[in-house]
Amino acid sequence: MNETYEIRNRIGAKVAFLGLFVAAVLSAQLVVAMRSRVVLSEPIQLAHTGLSVCMPEGNGWRSAKRWEYQQNGFTTGSTYVAGPSRPTGAARCRYLSPVETAGPQIRFEQEERALEGKIVQTGRIDTHTVTVDWVHIQKPGAWFNTFFGSAKLPHSARFEIEVHESTGDAGLAEHVFRRIAESVSITDSPLLDAGTRIIAEMKDKGIVGFLDNQNRQSLFLIMDDRKNALGFTSDVLVDIGPGSDLNIQAASLYYIKGLFVHEEVASFQSDNRFDRFVWRFDRFAWKSAGIAAQRDGAAISLDEAGILTVTTSGEEPKESSYYVGASAAPEVLIEQLLAQMLDSDEKEIVVDIIEADGRVTPTHIIQIEPEGAAADRDAAHVVKLMPLDGRGFYQLVYLNERKGISKSLLRREETYLFESIDPEDAARLFPERAEYILQGDKLKKYLDERKE
């Protein structure tokens, strides 16, 4: 009886071993099939950059097939889901502009720390368009692999590829990573090139060349689409002469009055070519009844190496540094930028607009034909500004024969009109700020007081 039982055990063990062997073979065949069946999507083009990339699609992979703006860059991704279970693989590509000053090696170390893993392999992939440096990161004691790569692109941009898998198959993750890297294509980006030319022409001319006097003040009434007065903006741009390295100085006040009072103040100092500047921005909000104000802001500086440093204040202050490209200009010089575009007869450009709060926004600018001339006789030129960061708004800017801004129209969920107004009229509407409306030279002093 015992002998018969042992024979049955041996036969059962052999059958079980054979089953394991067959399962292993089938699993290996499945992995090979998965690798060979990685199908890529059609090229996913990123508008105005000349960049396109193909992402895994089908056979379990689901691709977004579009780019979305996230944190100073554009992202597209794909996930792998085998049946009803959770995703076991993911791929993501990012186009970054501006680029943080941290180089590829630091980025690799940041990824290593963020994933609580260890870099076990490094490499480089050279394609016909890009060179991708990459690392393989594993998490000790876990079936987890990440391949992360970085490549330098034209116009001071950077491209990143990231592939994760959680089944322990590093070979599959590497295969997907390489397929994506080999699909990257870079072609000409004429609108970015045009934007770079316009910025270069502005620098060559110098900001002083755009000023028709030594104390230019612009004052605009802010209204809603029902012509209700909401607030005003006041801007002063001054050339203080050759005695200072930062001879261009500007001050601005943005004031909205309602249930809450919103006020934004900024001071700006720059050299004539705006290769170097410092910028201070503060934002306040308080109830009309005088309840304690909320406050945040940013301090921005650009050095001769093209490094933009942004230090934010508020609940979570932080500092970040970026390389800005040759197609970047501060928002405070938008009138001069548009004037140079009109002088150069460029119909379309893409530039990076550096905003007062430190955000850098790629912006598509187009000359369009003036409409409704009878309603706006002063509009000799109309320019449309469309931020490409997904915020969903655009701005129409009307310029007169002298290429000065006469009014602008901002369309978001609602429409806001910025229309030139005489200081006396603005002072009557907002007597609490009359002193700084009527005497533009006192605006900087007011800004200095608000910083204290």
DSSP letters, 103-144, are -HHHHHHHHHHHTT-EEEEEEEEE-SS-EEEEEEEE-TTSS-
What is the structure's pLDDT at 17? 36
Count other Cβ atoms within 10 Å, centred on residue 357.
18
Q: Assign 18 a pLDDT band (cuts: 50, 70, 90).
A: very low
CATH placement of domain 40-187: 3.40.1000.10
| Contact indicator for 237, 211 with CB cutoff of 8 Å | yes
pLDDT exceeds cutoff 80 at 443: no
pLDDT tens for each residue of 69-116: 987 799 999 999 876 666 789 999 999 988 988 888 999 999 999 999
- Tell me how far apart the alpha carbons of residues 434 and 428 are, in angstroms, rounded to a whole number: 7
- Tell me how far apart the alpha carbons of residues 6 and 11 are, in angstroms, rounded to a whole number: 9
Q: Which of 209, 82, 91 is nearest to 146 (CA)?
A: 91
What is the structure's pLDDT at 273? 96
Give the chain's count of helices (H) and strands (E). Answer: 8, 27
pLDDT exceeds cutoff 80 at 184: yes
**Strand partners for 123:** 134
Q: Does 12 or 305 have the greater pLDDT score?
A: 305
Q: Assign 215 a pLDDT band (cuts: 50, 70, 90).
A: low
Q: Which tokens is 160 given?
A: 């990143």
pLDDT tens for each residue of 403-416: 999 999 999 878 99
